[in-house]
């Protein structure tokens, strides 16, 4: 097959490499010329994706994978077009289709008969049928189900381990017609391989869910579940601190029984997925009070962290506070919806002089994000561990000279010695008892 992949970001580019590695000709499309140049040079345009560099070096050299900014160079020759363009939400949580609309417009202008078009970007339920179908039909003058097929198939991978996750989890598809669904199943069976999963009720592989709406909802449901579960864990953690209880001991005990799967609490929920997709679900179902309440509980956690820090340290006005970690997740250079922004804003609101450290970011990059860079070993009065970077598991008192209090928002800091009060999310202050 010849395959076009629209969007060469942290999901789209590994997908393009996976397809090419299975023996197909792949052309990636991206609006960013520097991304296209990097790919065509066999260079990874972003860090952190396991094995991607090896794939690019081999597949670009062989001619099986190349990139372009021109839809007209890629779409007309493609048997299958996979769209992985970001969908964002605005400040009120409403979907912002700007980038996807633009990509769909350009795709429609070059779409030819007998092409299978698959959207992998997470969408509100009904978007494939009510937005992309009429838009593509109008622009291309083709009829979906007769001249081309339109399918939704959500990506279910985490950045940093995309290739492993593609093998691990069933590939979900939902078509607008039976013929479209069959075409999508055939496609993914040709470009993916799957690990044996004896824990599943049916064999791991490509699963047809029967409709685009079911596939759209499956992705929203599985990610919203995580946000709700974390929200519950965070509420347990806040209560445990007051009750003089170690919430991690409680969670371990609960999860020893097969019907309990409580997640771990944390100072914030960030990234393109977990804080965003519940909002997409709420755009369809605004009456889902469980979802909205959990989202609000997670959104409040950075403020809670500052409350606890202040209870240990005292008035933060004029104090030097280092925030450790800007990224939303350890080992991933990404700040999308990272809780660091709310955390820094709250500290500044209380008068603290805030600096930010992150081993994955340069001083200039931190400055571009609006932060004053911090370096371990510089004098501070207090600190907050925001991101679970492995570097912070080895923190010592020498890394935070002068610190009197540290709030550990990820349960990863060892005892820093006398004189430094370390409070961990979900654990009571030392000496506190029920």
CATH 3.40.50.720 residue window(s) in the chain: 2-210, 226-434
Question: Model confidence at 91, in pLDDT bands (50, 70, 90)?
Answer: low
pTM across the whole model: 0.92
Residue 322, Cα to own-chain centre: how many angstroms? 25
Gap between the Cα atoms of 124 and 142, Å rounded: 24
Tokens representing residue 69 in the block = 């900014």
Active site includes 219? yes
| Of 410, 414, 401, the residue nearest 305 (C-alpha) | 410
Tokens representing residue 133 in the block = 């179908």
CA–CA distances in Å: residue 160 to residues 22, 49, 120: 20, 4, 18
Answer whether residue 92 shows pLDDT above 70. Answer: no
pLDDT digits (tens, 9 = 90+) for 245-272: 999 999 999 999 999 999 999 999 998 8
- What DSSP line would sit under 282-300, residue for residue? HHH-TT-HHHHHHHHHHHT
Gap between the Cα atoms of 101 and 308, Å rounded: 44
Question: Which candidate in 10, 133, 171, 273 is catalytic?
Answer: 273
- Number of H-type helices and E-type strands within the chain: 16, 15
Tokens representing residue 81 in the block = 């077009």
pLDDT digits (tens, 9 = 90+) for 390-399: 999 999 999 9
Q: Is beta strand 171-175 parallel, antiparallel or unpaired with respect to 206-208?
A: parallel
Answer whether residue 433 shows pLDDT above 60. Answer: no
Answer whether residue 198 shows pLDDT above 60. Answer: yes
Among 38-52, 92-106, 333-347, which is the least confidently predicted range? Answer: 92-106
| Percent of the chain residues past pLDDT 70, beyond the cut | 98
What number is the average pLDDT over the span 127-138?
98
3-state secondary structure of 407: strand
Residue 231, Cα to own-chain centre: how many angstroms? 17
Gap between the Cα atoms of 405 and 426, Å rounded: 16
Give yes or no for a contact between 349 and 358, defined as CB atoms under 8 angstroms apart.
no
Which top CATH class is 2-210?
Answer: alpha beta
Question: Which candidate in 168, 219, 254, 333 is catalytic?
Answer: 219
Average pLDDT over the chain, rounded to an integer: 96
What number is the average pLDDT over the span 399-419?
94
Gap between the Cα atoms of 298 and 308, Å rounded: 16
**Tokens 């991206």 correspond to what residue?**
30
What stretch of H or E contains 220?
Answer: helix 212-243
For the domain covering 226-434, report its CATH number: 3.40.50.720
Q: Name, in order, each residue with C-beta under 8 angstroms of 83's C-beta and a sequence gap of 6 or more.
A: 6, 7, 100, 103, 104, 107, 117, 118, 119, 120, 121
Q: Which residues pair with 88 in a beta bridge?
A: 96
Give yes or no for a contact between 309 and 384, defined as CB atoms under 8 angstroms apart.
yes
Angle at 89 between CA 169 and CA 50, to 5 degrees: 35
| Of 137, 124, 423, the residue nearest 280 (C-alpha) | 124
Answer whether residue 431 shows pLDDT above 90. Answer: no
pLDDT digits (tens, 9 = 90+) for 337-391: 999 999 999 999 999 999 999 999 999 999 999 999 999 999 999 999 999 999 9
| pLDDT value for 195 | 98
Tokens representing residue 287 in the block = 């009456």
| pLDDT value for 280 | 93
Gap between the Cα atoms of 41 and 36, Å rounded: 9
């Amino acid at each position: 097959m010849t395959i076009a992949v629209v969007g060469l970001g942290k999901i789209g580019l590994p997908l393009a490499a996976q397809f090419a590695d299975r023996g197909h000709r792949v052309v990636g499309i991206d609006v960013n010329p520097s991304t296209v140049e990097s790919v065509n040079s066999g260079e990874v345009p972003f860090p952190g994706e396991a094995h991607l560099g090896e794939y690019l070096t081999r597949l670009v050299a062989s001619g099986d994978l190349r990139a372009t900014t021109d839809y007209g160079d890629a779409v007309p020759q493609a048997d299958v077009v996979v769209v992985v363009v970001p969908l964002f939400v605005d400040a009120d949580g409403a979907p912002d289709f700007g980038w996807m609309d633009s990509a769909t417009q350009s795709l429609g202008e070059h779409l030819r008969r007998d092409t299978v078009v698959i959207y992998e970007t997470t969408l509100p339920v009904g978007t494939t049928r009510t937005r992309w179908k009429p838009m593509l039909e109008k622009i291309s003058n083709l009829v979906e189900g007769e001249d081309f097929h339109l399918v939704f198939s959500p990506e279910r991978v985490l950045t940093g381990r995309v290739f492993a996750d593609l093998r691990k989890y069933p590939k979900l598809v939902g078509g607008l017609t039976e013929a479209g669904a069959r075409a999508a199943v055939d496609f993914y069976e040709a470009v993916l391989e799957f690990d044996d999963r004896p824990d599943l009720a049916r064999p791991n592989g490509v699963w047809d869910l029967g409709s685009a709406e079911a596939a759209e909802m499956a992705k929203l449901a599985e990610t919203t579940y995580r946000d709700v579960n974390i929200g519950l864990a965070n509420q347990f953690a806040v209560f445990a601190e007051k009750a003089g209880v170690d919430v991690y001991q409680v969670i371990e005990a609960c999860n020893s029984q097969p019907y309990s799967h409580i997640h771990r609490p944390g100072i914030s929920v960030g990234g393109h997925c977990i804080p965003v997709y519940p909002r997409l679900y709420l755009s369809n179902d605004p009456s889902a009070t469980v979802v909205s309440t959990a989202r609000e509980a997670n959104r409040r956690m950075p403020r809670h962290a500052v409350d606890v820090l202040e209870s240990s340290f005292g008035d933060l006005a004029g104090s030097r506070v280092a925030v450790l970690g800007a990224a939303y997740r350890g080992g991933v250079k990404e700040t999308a919806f990272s809780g660091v922004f709310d955390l820094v804003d709250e500290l500044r609101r209380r008068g603290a002089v805030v600096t930010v450290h992150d081993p994955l970011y340069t001083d200039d990059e931190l400055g571009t994000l609006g932060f004053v860079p911090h370096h371990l070993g510089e004098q501070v009065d207090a600190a907050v561990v925001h991101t679970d970077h492995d570097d912070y598991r080895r923190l010592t008192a020498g890394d935070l000279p002068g610190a009197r209090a540290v709030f550990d928002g990820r349960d990863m800091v060892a005892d820093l010695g006398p004189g430094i009060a370390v409070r961990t999310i979900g654990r009571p202050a030392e000496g506190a008892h029920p």
